[in-house]
Amino acid sequence: MAFAETGKLVEIKLETAWQTIDLAQAITERVAESSGFEEDDIHKIAMSVREGIINALHYGNRMQREKTVFLDFVFEPERLVIRMTDEGNGFEASHVDDPLSEENLLKTSGRGLLIVQAFMDDMHVGRGPNGGAELTMAKLFPKRFEKGEEG
């Protein structure tokens, strides 16, 4: 678990371009793998980052090339925290339509954040230093050494 020494931080600056989506996903897979996560969790974490990055590029940076997305990995003692910050106007999670309510069920939009919520242990929408959206998500490290506990 060389990568996952507690307190270590990895900061990545990504350009606003389509290739950034696959790149961010691939980087996340490597970081999650090096942190000791199993295949299933690696996939969930990488898919969550993919959804977050797509939103950051599309809704945040509006695909404007000169804008940037920051992707940070923070290794806390018990969990991997991933933060994505864009240079858009930000948004309030409470203002987003609930994709599970009856009138929204047939809409194809609105499932990205739902995926993040389902796949990660924690999710938070905040604002970055420049007013853009800051999506924070966290996944608990696998408990390998504790017997008699689920998960």
Give me the residue whose beta carbon is nearest to ligand ADP.
112
Angle formed by the axes of helices 39-55 and 19-34, nearest 10°: 150
Checking phi first, is residue 7 left (phi over 0); if not, alpha (psi -120 to 50) or beta? left
Angle formed by the axes of helices 112-119 and 39-55, nearest 10°: 150
Number of residues that bind ligand ADP (CB under 6 A): 16
**Do 77 and 62 form a contact (C-beta atoms < 8 A)?**
no
Q: How far is the CB of 106 from ligand ADP (least distance, A)?
A: 13
Candidates 52, 60, 88, 112: give the one binding Mg ion (CB under 5 A): 112
Candidates 16, 55, 85, 136: give the one binding Mg ion (CB under 5 A): 55
Counting runs of H as helices and runs of E as strands, what totals does the chain give? 3, 5
* 52 near Mg ion, judged by CB under 5 A: no
* 141 near ligand ADP, judged by CB under 6 A: no
Interface ranges with ligand ADP (CB under 6 A):
51, 55-56, 59-60, 86, 88, 91, 96, 109-114, 133
